[in-house]
Every structure is written in structure tokens, then in C-alpha cells.
A and B are shown apart, each in its own frame.
Chain A
Amino acid sequence: MSSSTDRGGSFVSVAHGVAWRNLHNHFSHPMYYIPSLVFPLLFFTAFTGALGALTDLPGFEFEAGYEGFQYVFVLIQSAAFGGVFTGFAIARDFETGFARRLLLAAPNRQGIIAGYALAALGRWVFTALVVTGVAFAAGMTMPGGVGVAGLYALALLVNGAGILFASGVAMRMRTVQAGPLMQTPVFLALFLAPVYVPLAVLDGWIETVARFNPFTAFLEAGRGFLVGRPTTVGLAFGLAVALLVLFGWWAHRGLRSAESAG
């Protein structure tokens, strides 16, 4: 009896297989990896180009330059949307029936989610490297030095939360038509945060919404790390971990729902 479990593969081997397949597909097909690069870079160049003059506004000062200010947004944004794209991949696999191959081969089905998550992480790291290179080329500086590691740690947590949120939706809906349901909440949360200008410069209802938006904390803390004057660190990490736990539960329940639907 004990040997039979060996034949089904472990959590690690399942995660490895799923991650390999998703990364392999992603990087061998330009139709997948080009968009994941184009959007963050587009945000970055569009905002820094058009709004770079904002740094002359009274109330705006940021030592890392407007490039640095936007870099933090683009990094957090690409981390969150990286998760959403993973949701698309999962939904597509359920729609085509490919997910059944994974469900059938995996004794431990949590390994499947772990595999998708690892692949999403791999994709995002690649995007982050490219965006970082471009930001440096555009003149961004990192006055905060190694403290910037805090920004990356935060972005990783956001990436993980995005993955778990979107995969929870994907495993409940099991169709690519679930796309808007994964995308819209993340999109709204992102753009109702102090994206282009600091919170202090925002006005009216946007300011109210932004104040209670977790992304506000992520962006402010991230920008603090970049310039070496950490702010709202505890709040940002607390929120990120809370989201991770919440969406972890959400994804776990989603897997249960997918299992009982066949």
C-alpha cells in the first residue's frame, strides 16, 4: 500500500510539471510574452513622458524622479496583473479539459495551484527585470539603496495575492468568460489608488477611495523603500499578508468547487 503513493507523484513533482508547462508555453510563444511586457512598458513610458512635468507641481517632490515614482506603480501593477493572467490560463485549461489531465495525475491537487503560481512568479520576475532595466535607462535612481528590497518583497506578495484571487475565480467559473471578473476588480483597485500623483495631491471622492484602498498603502510603502524613507511599512505588509491569506482560502475553496464539478 505504501508504494502506491509513490507512483502518483508528490506535491513538488506536480508543481514542477505544471510550472514547467506554463513557463514553456509562455516563453516559446511571443503572443503570450509580448503583451505581458508591452503593457507595463506602455504605462511606464506614457505616464513618465506625458506627466513628467508634474514634478514641477507644488506638493510633488520625489528624489527618485518621476520615473521612479511611476516605476513603483508599474512594478506593483504588473505583479497584480501577472496573477490575473494566471487566472486566464487556469480558466482556459478547465474550459479545454486540459485541467483534467492535471487533476487525474496529481495525488495532491494543491500542487497544481502551486505550479500555476510558480509559473506566474517566473513570468513576473522576467517582466520586473525588463521594466527595471528600462526605468534605469530612463533616468530613475534608487536613493534608498538596498532598502529597495522591501519594494520587491511587497510586489511578490501582491503577485501571490493576485494569483490566488484570480485562480479562485477561474476554478469557480471554469471558462475564459470569467476574464472580466478577474480583471475588473484588480483594475479598479489599481486605478483608484494614487497612481499618477501622491495621495497628498489628490482631491475629493478619489482621495476618499484612495485612502481605504490597499494599493495606496502598497504604492506609498513601495515609493518609500525606493527613496530610502520607509513609510506605512507595517500597514502595507499587514494588508498584503491579509490578502494573501484571504485569497489563499478563496483559491482553496475554488479548487474544491472545481473538483466537485468534474
Chain B
Amino acid sequence: MSGRHGIEVVELVREFPKGPRAVDGIDLHVAPGEIYGFLGPNGAGKSTTVLVLTTLLPLTSGSARVAGYDVATQGRYVRAEIGAALQEAALDPLLSAREHMRLQTTLHGLSRSDRKVRGEELLERVGLVEAADRRVGGYSGGMKRRLDLALALVHRPSILFLDEPTTGLDPQSRTALWDEVARLTREDGVTVFLTTQYLEEADALADRVGIIDRGRIVAEGTPQALKDEIGRPSVEIVPAQDGDHEALAAVLSRFGESVPALSQSVAVRLRGGESELAEVVRALDGAGISVSQLRLHAPTLDDVFLEKTGRSLEGAGSEHGGDESAG
């Protein structure tokens, strides 16, 4: 066994020949048994990081140890300790799930009897027993992801890499996969390194989150700490009379900087946090402004991303972008 080793990355750089510095000097420490969420828009460098850490791509400079082994010089030991489900599930459309299982258990050198038992156990675990003899070519996206996950677990890895495991899945499949990942950590003590473009995913699943943008980590911590640190709540108020709009804005500006809101309302990020809400209400009262609606918005990881990069996470990707950033 690996003992108690997680992932240690120091000043990691990966440059593509004639391409960008996809990973531009990152430091990472993932504790054993932890779920680490690597959050960032498209093109941020998430997959490149995963490929380096799983020994599929050499690093340009810096160092990385996974399960206590150096990825550059001890690749074979790293590979024995890790499981990975990459961004494009590497499946053969001509093979069935059961045949994939047979291949994977053979590659990992399980004995003939273990192969059968372990394969069936994992197919059961991800709910693919009924479809197990059908060719994977006809599977849905969710089924492929589940199979890929099951295959990654064949040799009981101590560290699991999941590169955007829920991208393109419907909400049910997504939560089913979250449950499975949470269970792996809880019951088997597996360390999970998970990349995602989804805030909710990092928020719901990760013990700690690293936010990556353009190859650099811009923020790191527990989801709550990150939100507490930067993302103070904002208050959004709709005045009862349209004419009060400007007066309302003037009063609110005393409590924090304004943030975008619907046209009939005014919103500010509360400098002093939630506790200032009573103060705000008293001030409005004093100014004779009556309120039709008042909403308090809890901070999100998107606020964190916005704060650190000046852009919204939704639509910040280098390939896709723009169309989602409104609102």
C-alpha cells in the first residue's frame, strides 16, 4: 500500500511545443483521503495537470509526487497506485462492459478467479449489470462515465483522478456519480482529484478547492473559506416606487460597491457582511424609501472567481464563452 501519501506538486510547468504554457507553475498539496476539486473554465489547464500527474504526459519543469512516488522517474509505481477516468472516456465501442472489465482486470494482473469476482462486483456497484453484455458503442454518456469509473477502480487504487466526470451528464446521472465518489472516499479512504467546470460540483463534493485560470492557481481553500474570504453576500432591493431608484442607489452605496442587477433593482456587495442588513433597513427607513422586495444573495464560488480574475467563471473558457456570461 501507499502508506499515507497524497499528491505533492511544486512549481509544476507544462509547455506544449509551439503551444501555450498550459500549466504555468502550480503548487498543490492534496492530503490522503481528501476530495480535491480542481475548478476552472475550459482551457484553464485542468486536463494537462491530470495527464502529468497520471504519468501520461511528461512535465516541463517543477516536480510532482503522487502516492509518494515521483511522476517523472517512478512512473510505474505511480501507475500501480492510481486510477483515472480521463475527460474522453477511453472505451472501445466494439467491446461490451463485461469485456472491458475482463481487459482491465487482465492488464492489472488479477488472477483468473479474482478477475471474475472483482469485475462483477464493480459492474454491480455502478449499476451496469443488466447492460453488461451490450456493446459500449450504444451506451449513453452517463453509462460510459460509470463504466469508466468502475474500470478505474479495478486494482483498488489509493488515489483516483476524475477529469470532468460529469460534463454533459443530466442532473440525475450527475448526482448519482457524486454519491459514488463521496462513498469511495468515505468507505474506502480513496483520495480523489477531481476537475470540474461546475461550481456546484466543487461546492457539493470537494473538501478543498483549487481554482485554476490560464495555468495558474488563483485561489485555494475549503469552499466555505473561499467564499468567506472574498465572496461577501450581496443585497438586492426593488423600491416600491420607480422614482426612488436613484435615492436607493445613493443610500446603498454607503454599504458597499454595487454589483450588476435587474434594471428595476439596485444591488450592492455588503462590505460588513450579513450583519449589516438591519443597518441597511434602518437607513432606508430614515431616507423614506419604501421597499417592495429585498433579497440577500449568498456568495458563490463564481464570486470568488470573479474577484480573483475579473471575469465570471461561466463563459470564461477560452474556447466557448460570451453566450452564457449575461446576467
Contact = CB atoms under 8 A, between A and B. Distances in A.
Interface in B65-94: 76-77, 79-82, 84, 86, 88, 90-92, 94
B58 A107 contact: no
B104 A105 contact: yes
Contact of B92 (A3, A9, A98): A98
A5 B76 contact: yes
A133 interface: no
B113 to A, nearest CB: 15
A6 B111 CA distance: 11
A105 B79 contact: yes
Contacts of A18: 107
B106 A104 contact: no
B108 A100 contact: no
A229 interface: no
A23 to B, nearest CB: 12
A173 interface: no
B107 A29 contact: no
A104 B55 CA distance: 8
A199 interface: no
B107 A4 contact: no
A126 B1 CA distance: 43
A36 B242 CA distance: 79
Contact of B108 (A97, A98, A105, A260): A105
A8 B108 contact: yes
A8 B109 contact: yes
Contacts of B156: 7
Interface string A1-31: 1011111111001101110110011001100
Contacts of B108: 7-9, 13, 105
B31 interface: no
Contact of A8 (B1, B51, B79, B95): B79
B118 interface: no
A203 B91 CA distance: 52
Main secondary structure on chain A at its contact with chain B? helix
A102 to B, nearest CB: 7
A232 interface: no
A96 interface: yes
Given A4-B77, A21-B92, A9 B51 contact: no
Contact of B109 (A13, A104, A259): A13
B119 to A, nearest CB: 13
- Give the one of A7, A96, A100, A107 with max B CB within 10 A: A7
A65 B102 CA distance: 47
A101 B90 contact: yes
Sort chain B's interface into a size bin: 20 to 34
Contacts, number: 99
B76 A104 contact: no
B250 interface: no
A4 B80 contact: yes
Interface in A238-262: 259-262
Nearest to B91: A98
A101 B54 CA distance: 11
Contact of A106 (B79, B82, B84, B92): B79
Given A13-B109, A20-B103, A108-B76, A7 B92 contact: no
B79 to A, nearest CB: 6
Contacts of A6: 80, 109
A123 B108 CA distance: 24
A17 B99 contact: no
Contacts of A28: 94
A17 B103 contact: yes
B80 A7 contact: yes
A108 B107 CA distance: 10
A103 interface: yes
Nearest to A16: B106
A100 B90 contact: yes
Interface string B169-180: 000000000000
Contacts of B109: 6-10, 13-14
A115 B81 CA distance: 23
Interface in A96-151: 96-108
B48 to A, nearest CB: 8
B79 A107 contact: yes
A103 B56 contact: yes
B79 A13 contact: no
B63 interface: no
Given A13-B109, A97-B86, A262-B57, A4 B92 contact: no
Contacts of B103: 17, 20-21
A29 B99 CA distance: 15
A224 to B, nearest CB: 42
Interface in B130-164: 151, 155-156
Contacts of B91: 98
B94 A104 contact: no
B279 to A, nearest CB: 55
Given A96-B92, A97-B88, A97-B90, 10 more contacts: A6-B109, A9-B109, A21-B92, A24-B95, A96-B90, A100-B56, A101-B151, A102-B107, A104-B54, A108-B76
7 contacts: A7-B108, A7-B155, A14-B107, A17-B106, A104-B56, A107-B79, A107-B80
Closest 7 CB pairs of A and B: A9-B109, A8-B80, A17-B106, A262-B57, A107-B76, A13-B109, A105-B107
